[in-house]
Chain A
Amino acid sequence: MNLQRIRTVIAKEWAEVFKNKLVLFTVGFLPLVFTALPLGILYATRGDPEQMASEMSDLPAQFMALCGDISASECMQVFILNQFLLLFMMMPLIIPISIAAYSIVGEKTTHSLEPLLATPISTVELLTAKSLAAAIPAVLATWLGFAIFVVGAPLVSTGPSVLRYILGPMWLLAVFGLGPLMAIMAVNFAIMVSSRVTDPRVAEQMAAVIIVPLLAIMFAQIGGLLVLNLTFMLIAAVVLLVADAALIVVGARLFQRETILTKWK
């Protein structure tokens, strides 16, 4: 692995892909919305504890158990936040898809992959560089959004346990552990999809099916079928780790000089 070559390609990817307004929009705007939304909802549900207590009875039973001895209104907010944790997990899935789709399809349409492949760079270095170029901005944007959320949440929430909950092991594992794992998965998936199509928007749309499982989890939680907790996150982390390893193996096989030149049309 030659780090200078990897750095060079990453810098090139960023210089090029961030000139694209659509990509810039996804990377910049999405985290903003996904961070502002939960803060806004927290603010709106700050309401008086009495009323909250009455609404508590609507919460799924499993969730009540999770709340333990925190106040009813805090528990309500924690429940709402659990939905929004999924937004933070969605960012590292959506952002890299957009970057990778434009990067790969763009190189295909301008035929710039061939001279690139004619340099001494190895295909592993190239794949690594392309993956990192898409994953790093996604992870950083997610973390930045989370940081803003952590700073903003105490200002708009009902009590201190809300912040304690956000900074608890489940959230931290989700944002700092699962986030990067999901970004890697999204990138590899997007590269595979992009290698088969000639329009970056089509690639984005096709690769977007990757968020379906996340949506399923979201609706399952709203419907009271499951509750996000630490155990769930740990299992998810292991599943993602295995899925990532598999995708990287398949991706590296697809990412051969000859395959790229002759089969990526």
Chain B
Amino acid sequence: MIHAEQLSKTFGDGPNAITAVDRLSLDVAEGEVFGFLGPNGAGKTTTVRMLTTLIGPSGGRATVNGLTLGRDDAAIRQSVGVLTETPGLYDRLSAERNLTIYARLYDVADVPGQVRKYLQMLGLWERRQDEAGSFSKGMRQKLALARALLHEPRVLFLDEPTSALDPEAAKLVRDFIEELRGAGRTIFMCTHNLDEADRLCDRIGIFKTRLIMVDSPANIRQQLYGRRVVVHLAQAAEGLAAEARALPFVKEVQAVDNKLVVTLDDPEANDPALVRRLVEAGAAIQFVGELRHSLEDVYLRLIEAQG
């Protein structure tokens, strides 16, 4: 659905040139929710702007929905929906009017029908006559989201859809994105919220001017850290660490109070042997569980490594 090859963007020239995006190569499949993660100034918005034909790349190629960037720009704009970083509503016009204008610009066949559908879907129907300027941040974001969907785009670009929202509003927007994903749309989402990326995205790309890593959140965690199993004991764990360490599949063992934290690659296959070995050595086991690294750990480690 989205295919980028060596896509680059440099602002300005000479000694003051800033490379915002450096040779980004990427494929996002149809129906996939792709999370684009990176710190402030990483070039996320610049990437979205290039892929939605708002600014021209300085190098590289891309296709969106099978259409070529730079050649089929108007067709690309017609087939994608964009939620920009700031909602950019017409504050003096009603919510309904805001959507009607965009439905016409996108040449939607049934303008009132589509406007109604999305106002209702996002819970704004009762407030449709009110000026957009009178809306709360969460409502504004939802209105902007509705605006991006009126023409039923196959690909949706969301630039930080939940930043600047309180937890409740953020959850509403997140739930809605989940719904969209069920409907088979391809979603490219920039975000700072790692929790959100972890839950919503099929794959994430960690990006800081260059693409650092792309994979599913689970694979990225494992690739960087292996997986960890925590064993809670009725006694101090210290004496049992050596037993665990002796097993061939165990990579690392830490003993903390009455807990053993064991790093290994495949808990499903290895845990039974680990448990048997510990029990044979006299361990009184209370619980065994998996200790997950948060995506945040992964992210911070990767970004730090980038300098």
> What is the interface of chain A, defined by CB distance below 8 A to chain B?
2, 4-5, 8-9, 11-12, 15-16, 19, 110-122, 257-258, 261-262
Please give, as numbers and ranges, the residues of chain B lying within 8 Å of A122 by CB-CB distance: 74
Please give, as numbers and ranges, the residues of chain A lying within 8 Å of B144 by CB-CB distance: 115
| 3 A-B pairs with the lowest CB-CB distances in the bound complex, closest first | A112-B88, A111-B88, A8-B104
Q: Mark B72-89, 1 if CB is under 8 A from A, else 0.
A: 001101101010101111
Please give, as numbers and ranges, the residues of chain A lying within 8 Å of B176 by CB-CB distance: none
Q: B88 touching A257 by the CB < 8 A rule?
A: no
B210 within 8 A of A: no
Q: How many A-B residue pairs have CB under 8 A?
A: 79
Nearest-CB residue, chain A, relative to B80 = A118
Contact for B84 among A5, A15, A19, A115, CB less than 8 A: A115
Please give, as numbers and ranges, the residues of chain A lying within 8 Å of B105 by CB-CB distance: 5, 8-9, 116, 119-121
Q: B106 touching A120 by the CB < 8 A rule?
A: yes
Q: List 29 A-B pairs, Cβ < 8 Å.
A: A4-B107, A5-B104, A8-B105, A9-B101, A9-B105, A12-B93, A15-B93, A16-B90, A16-B93, A110-B89, A111-B84, A111-B86, A112-B88, A113-B88, A114-B86, A115-B82, A115-B102, A118-B54, A118-B77, A118-B80, A118-B82, A120-B75, A120-B107, A122-B74, A257-B54, A258-B54, A258-B55, A261-B49, A262-B55
Q: A119 touching B102 by the CB < 8 A rule?
A: yes
CB distance from A231 to the nearest CB of B (A): 46
Q: Mark B91-128, 1 if CB is under 8 A from A, else 0.
A: 11100010001101111000000000000000000000
B186 within 8 A of A: no
CB distance from B101 to the nearest CB of A (A): 5
Q: A120 touching B89 by the CB < 8 A rule?
A: no
| Distance between Cα atoms of A41 and B93 in the complex (Å) | 42
CB distance from B83 to the nearest CB of A (A): 8
Besides A15-B93, A258-B55, 4 new A-B residue pairs in contact (Cβ under 8 A), listed by A number: A9-B105, A111-B87, A114-B54, A118-B77
Please give, as numbers and ranges, the residues of chain A lying within 8 Å of B44 by CB-CB distance: none
B162 within 8 A of A: no
Would A119 and B54 be within 8 Å (CB), given that A111-B88, A112-B89 are in contact? no
Please give, as numbers and ranges, the residues of chain A lying within 8 Å of B52 by CB-CB distance: 118
CB distance from A253 to the nearest CB of B (A): 15
Please give, as numbers and ranges, the residues of chain A lying within 8 Å of B239 by CB-CB distance: none
Nearest-CB residue, chain B, relative to A119 = B105
Please give, as numbers and ranges, the residues of chain B lying within 8 Å of A262 by CB-CB distance: 11, 55
CB distance from A44 to the nearest CB of B (A): 42
| Distance between Cα atoms of A258 and B49 in the complex (Å) | 9
Please give, as numbers and ranges, the residues of chain B lying within 8 Å of A8 by CB-CB distance: 101, 104-105
Would A261 and B88 be within 8 Å (CB), given that A120-B106, A122-B74 are in contact? no
Q: B104 touching A115 by the CB < 8 A rule?
A: no
Q: B90 touching A117 by the CB < 8 A rule?
A: no
Nearest-CB residue, chain A, relative to B100 = A8
B263 within 8 A of A: no
Please give, as numbers and ranges, the residues of chain B lying within 8 Å of A11 by CB-CB distance: 101
| Distance between Cα atoms of A112 and B102 in the complex (Å) | 12
Please give, as numbers and ranges, the residues of chain B lying within 8 Å of A120 by CB-CB distance: 74-75, 77-78, 105-107
Q: Mark B38-74, 1 if CB is under 8 A from A, else 0.
A: 0000000000010011111000000000000000001
CB distance from B233 to the nearest CB of A (A): 57
Please give, as numbers and ranges, the residues of chain A lying within 8 Å of B3 by CB-CB distance: none
Please give, as numbers and ranges, the residues of chain B lying within 8 Å of A15 by CB-CB distance: 92-93, 97
Q: B104 touching A114 by the CB < 8 A rule?
A: no
CB distance from A12 to the nearest CB of B (A): 5
| Distance between Cα atoms of A257 and B92 in the complex (Å) | 24
Please give, as numbers and ranges, the residues of chain B lying within 8 Å of A110 by CB-CB distance: 88-91
CB distance from B113 to the nearest CB of A (A): 17
B228 within 8 A of A: no
| Distance between Cα atoms of A120 and B150 in the complex (Å) | 13
B147 within 8 A of A: yes
Please give, as numbers and ranges, the residues of chain B lying within 8 Å of A258 by CB-CB distance: 54-56
| Distance between Cα atoms of A117 and B48 in the complex (Å) | 13
CB distance from A264 to the nearest CB of B (A): 13
Would A12 and B90 be within 8 Å (CB), given that A117-B54, A120-B106 are in contact? yes
Please give, as numbers and ranges, the residues of chain B lying within 8 Å of A12 by CB-CB distance: 90, 93, 101
Q: Which of A113, A114, A116, A257 has the most CB of B within 10 A?
A: A114
CB distance from A170 to the nearest CB of B (A): 42
Q: B84 touching A16 by the CB < 8 A rule?
A: no
